[in-house]
Amino acid sequence: MNIELHQINKQYGKTHALRDLSLCISDPVNVIVLIGPSGSGKSTLMRLLGALESPDSGELVFDQQPLLQNEEALLQHRRQNGYLFQSFNLFPHLTAAENIELPLIKVHGKKADEANKLCQQALEKFQLEPHQHKYPSQLSGGQQQRFALARAIAIQPRLLLLDEPTSALDPEMTAEVLKVIETLSRSGQPIILSTHEMGFARAVADQVIFLAEGKILEQGSPEELFGKPSHPYVQNFLSKVMRY
């Protein structure tokens, strides 16, 4: 997928979340990882890329097609993508499998038998079949996150957007979810994710983007950005977070 952002700005009141941000990503880049300090604009950028919010100014372009800022175009774009944010957002009154099938039927217009087939394919990918009839309250945090991931990929998304997918998990569950994401990345699924897991970012990314104060300070391959960062702020940040 080819993605271009031109002079993107986004403010929330007096907070300037993104400042004249420009970016160009083209094939064969498949996995893009956003890193940087808390409050740097990573989540805002993810929401704009998924058309869950609109920029105050600037242009987003996907595969040479500008993303028009009208509800019909934004809705179509949203339906093409899979999302996983910091909360799992599973419906507590539905089984885990029903949480996957319902969006396929209600949002994507699939018939029940097709939705069930896509659901089972996603469950098999994550080895979740034994837990499909459980309710969210009966699942561990890691299992809930894996079901949320299965729901996101069941629609066969054009782009998978993962915003700090392990932020609420303990170390064992974090490792479990990261293994699933790594498997997806190796299968060729286009992914943009934000994370504080520097080792994981280094292992799976094709391109790493470092944000701070709403700007891109540095962009490059994992070898370049983690091995020989050129921006002083990035050097200082990485020297602290990768010390231990």
Amino acid at 27: D
Q: How far apart are CA 182 and CA 184, in angstroms?
A: 5
Identify which of 177, 135, 170 has the alpha carbon closest to the alpha carbon of residue 152.
Answer: 177
DSSP string, 166-205: TTTS-HHHHHHHHHHHHHHHHTT--EEEE-S-HHHHHHH-
Query: Per CATH, which fold does 3-241 belong to?
Result: Rossmann fold (3.40.50)
Contact indicator for 144, 89 with CB cutoff of 8 Å: no
Q: How far apart are CA 242 and CA 244, in angstroms?
A: 6
Contact indicator for 88, 144 with CB cutoff of 8 Å: yes
Q: Which residues of the chain have pLDDT under 50?
A: none
* pLDDT tens column, 131-189: 999 999 999 888 888 899 899 999 999 999 999 887 767 787 777 777 878 888 888 88
Q: Is the peptide bond before 171 cis (omega within 30 degrees of 0)?
A: no
Q: How far apart are CA 189 and CA 156, in angstroms?
A: 9
State the DSSP H helix or E strand holding residue 227, giving kind and residue range, or none if neither: helix 222-227
Bridge partners for 21 per DSSP: 8
Give the per-residue pLDDT at 168. 67
